[in-house]
């Protein structure tokens, strides 16, 4: 299998290229710097021996590993994104390699006293004795999802170099802007031409997911009326107080910090306001479609109720659906999940089948006609300074990709 050194070298070469996306940009990709890695990947895919390597005007990359068997096998795909989150800086990433992790605190940054501790991040203890790649405490790492890219490229290289492993045609796809919810917006599913695909974008080893949140974004605009405070009686309307009423009227325990598993939530992400006008930005999430619709309806009813109280329209709600639960599209073709589960079991990896408390390119792709479950990429603590990835998990992900290709070929003899 691909050596640890090759995986480390490839991964570090990717994460040290800044590819942070920008939600305020309307271009695709949303930042020019994403081209730096995109162009490099296109060159690398050709170098390792893939065919039909293409990069389009929006930086979407596609490539082909041709079948090496004579019988007809469904075309499968593997997809990852190369942008990193705007939540935390991805500039000047300086990875640290921790060999034979001893299960104790890891000093990420001595000067700033930044510690990655198993006392807080208990998952670290799963990887005692393994090789970890961490940040230096000042940036994110970018394992989300450069670990996935590393694994896909490494698996394709391994299959090219080991033609005795039978496989059908495999398509590879890399996308920009997943972290700002636009990773699949301009993905050409027809051109990709796969019967199904897998995103390599999960977290800990063993994760296999085919459910995700239904998601919407809400912008709540509240209009007040500014009057000199000395003469404001019965005249001033303070939009910030109305905003407070709106916030406090939503279920307090239905927020991210109080929910888990399949429980949905309302999440206030931003407040910007003064007396005259306040804007609240929310994301709304739920795995259950009916509960999801009820959550959106709650927003509308609450706005109507507050407007009625003030006898004028002080609140306007802008609701926009963002993505839906891919379970609806994957369940009719559950054999594609079964193949991934079987691959893990054959490799002595315990499958962790659970819903994603978030979204993935696979959700949108599934609704675009490309059923696309999600497989672990190995990283932890995404989008922040405490992000890390065990190298052995990346190795196992490479093995899973190879095994999926092999099993698929065998099943369709």
Q: Which of 18, 22, 44, 83 is catalytic?
A: 83
- Whether pLDDT at 181 is above 90: no
Place of tokens 């930042």: 31
Confirm or reject CATH 3.40.1260.10 for domain 4-211+325-411, answering yes or no: no
- Whether pLDDT at 151 is above 80: yes
Collapsing DSSP to helix, strand or coil, 344 comes out as helix
Which 8-state DSSP code applies to residue 167? -
Which 8-state DSSP code applies to residue 17? S
Is 51 a residue of the active site?
no
- Whether pLDDT at 313 is above 90: yes
- Three-state helix/strand/coil letters over 158-217: HHHHCCCCCCCCEEEEEECCHHHCCCCCCCCHHHHCCCEEEEEEECCCCEEECCECEEEE
pLDDT digit string, tens, across residues 99-120? 999 999 999 999 999 999 999 9
- Which residues make Cβ contacts (< 8 Å) with residue 166, sequence separation at least 6? 68, 69, 406, 409, 410
Q: How far is 29 from 52, CA to CA, in rounded Å?
A: 22
Place of tokens 């045609």: 169
Q: Where are the domains of the chain?
A: 4-211+325-411, 214-323
Q: Which of 44, 145, 157, 178 is catalytic?
A: 178
* Domain 214-323 class, CATH top level: alpha beta
Give buried/exposed letters for 378-398 (b at 16+ CB in 10 A, else e): bbbbbbebbbbbbbbbbbbbb
Is 83 a residue of the active site?
yes
pLDDT digit string, tens, across residues 377-403? 999 999 999 999 999 999 999 999 999
Collapsing DSSP to helix, strand or coil, 290 comes out as helix
pLDDT digit string, tens, across residues 49-78? 999 999 999 999 999 999 999 999 999 999
- Which residues make Cβ contacts (< 8 Å) with residue 218, sequence separation at least 6? 280, 281, 282, 283, 284, 296, 299, 317, 318, 319, 320
- Whether pLDDT at 212 is above 80: yes
Angle at 193 between CA 377 and CA 21, to 5 degrees: 45
Q: How far is 371 from 335, CA to CA, in rounded Å?
A: 11
């Amino acid at each position: 299998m691909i050596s640890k050194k090759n995986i480390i070298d490839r991964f570090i070469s990717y994460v040290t290229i800044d590819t942070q996306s920008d939600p305020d940009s309307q271009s695709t990709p949303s930042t020019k710097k994403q081209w730096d890695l995109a162009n490099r990947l296109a060159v690398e895919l050709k170098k390792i021996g893939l065919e039909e390597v293409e990069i389009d005007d929006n930086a979407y990359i596609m490539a082909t590993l041709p079948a090496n068997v004579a019988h007809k096998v469904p075309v499968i795909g593997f997809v990852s994104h190369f942008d990193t989150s705007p939540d935390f800086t991805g500039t000047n990433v300086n990875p640290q390699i921790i060999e034979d992790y001893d299960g104790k605190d890891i000093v990420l940054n001595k000067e700033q006293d930044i510690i990655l501790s198993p006392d807080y991040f208990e998952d670290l203890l799963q990887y005692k004795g393994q090789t970890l790649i961490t940040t230096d405490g000042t940036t994110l790492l970018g394992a989300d999802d450069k670990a996935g890219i590393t694994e896909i490229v490494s698996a394709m290289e391994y299959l090219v170099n080991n033609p005795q492993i039978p496989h059908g045609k495999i398509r590879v796809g890399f996308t920009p802007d997943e972290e700002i919810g636009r990773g699949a917006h301009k993905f050409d599913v027809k051109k990709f031409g796969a019967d199904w695909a897998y995103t390599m974008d999960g977290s800990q080893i063993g994760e296999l997911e085919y459910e995700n949140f239904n998601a919407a974004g809400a912008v709540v605009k509240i209009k007040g009326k500014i009057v000199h405070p000395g003469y404001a009686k019965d005249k001033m309307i303070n939009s910030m107080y109305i905003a407070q009423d709106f916030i406090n009227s939503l279920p307090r325990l239905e927020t991210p910090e109080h929910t888990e598993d399949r429980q949905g939530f309302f999440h206030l992400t931003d407040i910007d306001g003064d007396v005259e006008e306040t804007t609240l930005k929310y994301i709304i999430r739920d795995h259950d479609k009916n509960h999801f619709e009820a959550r959106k309806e709650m927003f509308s009813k609450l706005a109507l109720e507050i407007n009625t109280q003030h006898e004028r329209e002080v609140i306007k709600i802008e609701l926009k659906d963002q993505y839906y639960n891919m379970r609806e599209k994957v369940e009719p073709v559950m054999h594609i999940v079964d193949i991934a589960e079987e691959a893990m079991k054959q490799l002595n990896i315990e499958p962790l089948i659970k819903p994603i408390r978030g979204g993935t390119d696979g959700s949108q792709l599934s609704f675009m006609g490309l059923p696309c479950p999600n497989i672990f990429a190995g990283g932890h603590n995404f989008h922040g300074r405490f992000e890390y990835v065990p190298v052995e998990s990346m190795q196992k992900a490479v093995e899973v990709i190879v095994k999926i290709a092999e099993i698929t070929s065998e099943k369709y003899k």
